[in-house]
Amino acid sequence: MTVLPWQPGTTPLMLAPMQGLTNRALRAYFIEHVRPDVIFTEFMRVNTAPAGESLNAVDRRDIASEQDGVPLVVQLVGHGREALVSAARVAQDAGAVHVNLNMGCPYGRMGGGMTGGGMLRCPGDLAEVIPALRDAINGSFSVKIRAGYDDPDQILSLLPLFESSGVDFLVLHPRTVVQKYDGVADHGVTARVTRETRLPVIANGDIRNATVGGRVLGETGAAGLMLGRGAIADPLLFLRLRGLESHEPGREERRTELDRYLREMLMRYGRLFCGDTQVLNKVKEIIAYLDDRELLKPLKELRRAKTVRAFEAALAGLC
């Protein structure tokens, strides 16, 4: 029996994979301060060229069964049965225990091509891909998926395939691929899916605060939550959902937490990346998810900073 990446009988809170953002340094911050139940790698691109390595050397170095004691799920994005199976085997040889297939990314070639959310354009191909991956993966095998390519009911037609193939759990973002992030995530779709399948469903999408997270869990019957943009904006969202922090932080609490968060990420990025420009660009990717109305002025100054020193000086405006 496959072991899931969370403890039986618990409601897992997962940190979403966000390309270019949830790198090893950011994951380490979350593990130290809020300890998600499950974390994911950024997606690893599968090379379809016959003569090349299915996963590049940089990605292979990030593969493991866990990070600092938290189960780590390796996410693959690609197309073609042979290429995906080869990549899954390479990942396992490098130490992966939990493997996820990205069928949800809506951007660029991921949405318009045959990978990521684009896989939903050719659902007939999945009847070959999904069972083959299940056969190749010894540990847990999961799928992160949109509700459909352009039809939010498409997911319902795929459930029998996922169940018969032995997929262990689904992570569902209830928008279509063509929607990207327009509109709102329709967790009515999440509720329908949880009623229609015996597989654990992890709800993902527009969970920006603890009130919404609690409502999604209660109204959908989801097995757990995956937190992405909401968690990047407020890492303490994990603790708020566990009842260990207030649901809505006060103004001073928010300022203090943001100051700590951003200063520490500057330090962590300084160890991971080369040069001030790269460090500054990476921390500004975090800033892009911060939209506190009461902090509009200091956040604007942080976005305008041209050097790490200027960024640190602008941080004083938070407190």
Spatial separation of the C-alpha atoms in residues 136 and 232, rounded to whole Å: 33
Q: Report the share of the chain in percent with pLDDT over 90.
A: 84
Query: Cα 148 vs. chain centroid, distance in angstroms?
Result: 18
CATH code for position 65: 3.20.20.70
8 within domain boundaries? no
If asked whether residues 54 and 103 sit together in one domain, one would say yes
Which range is least confidently modeled, 47-56, 89-98, 169-178, 220-229?
47-56
If asked whether residues 147 and 288 sit together in one domain, one would say no
DSSP per-residue codes, 254-282: HHHHHHHHHHHHHHHHHHHSSSHHHHHHH
Out of 199, 223, 241, a domain closes at 241
pLDDT tens-digit series, residues 181-222:
999 999 999 999 999 999 999 999 999 999 999 999 999 999
If asked whether residues 110 and 201 sit together in one domain, one would say yes
pLDDT of 247? 85
Say if CB 133 and CB 139 are below 8 A apart: no
39 within domain boundaries? yes
If asked whether residues 127 and 237 sit together in one domain, one would say yes
If asked whether residues 194 and 300 sit together in one domain, one would say no
If asked whether residues 107 and 41 sit together in one domain, one would say yes
Spatial separation of the C-alpha atoms in residues 28 and 22, rounded to whole Å: 9
If asked whether residues 267 and 118 sit together in one domain, one would say no
If asked whether residues 193 and 277 sit together in one domain, one would say no
pLDDT (average), residues 52-79: 93
Say which residue the tokens 């999604």 belong to: 216
- Spell out the residues 6+ positions from residue 253 whose beta carbon is closer than 8 angstroms to its own: 246
pLDDT greater than 80 at residue 109: no
- Please state whether 69 falls in left (phi above 0), alpha (psi between -120 and 50) or beta: left
Spatial separation of the C-alpha atoms in residues 179 and 13, rounded to whole Å: 25
85 within domain boundaries? yes
pLDDT (average), residues 17-26: 94
Which range is least confidently modeled, 51-55, 61-65, 132-136, 175-179?
51-55
Say if CB 70 and CB 45 are below 8 A apart: no
If asked whether residues 90 and 219 sit together in one domain, one would say yes
pLDDT (average), residues 146-172: 98
pLDDT greater than 60 at residue 112: no
106 within domain boundaries? yes
Task: Give how many domains the chain has, as a whole number.
Answer: 2
Spatial separation of the C-alpha atoms in residues 82 and 26, rounded to whole Å: 32
Average pLDDT over the chain, rounded to an integer: 93
Highest mean pLDDT among 16-20, 121-125, 170-174: 170-174
**Residue ranges making up the domain that contains 286:** 251-318
pLDDT of 111? 47
Q: Quickly state the pLDDT bin for 3 (edges 50, 70, 90).
A: confident
pLDDT of 141? 98
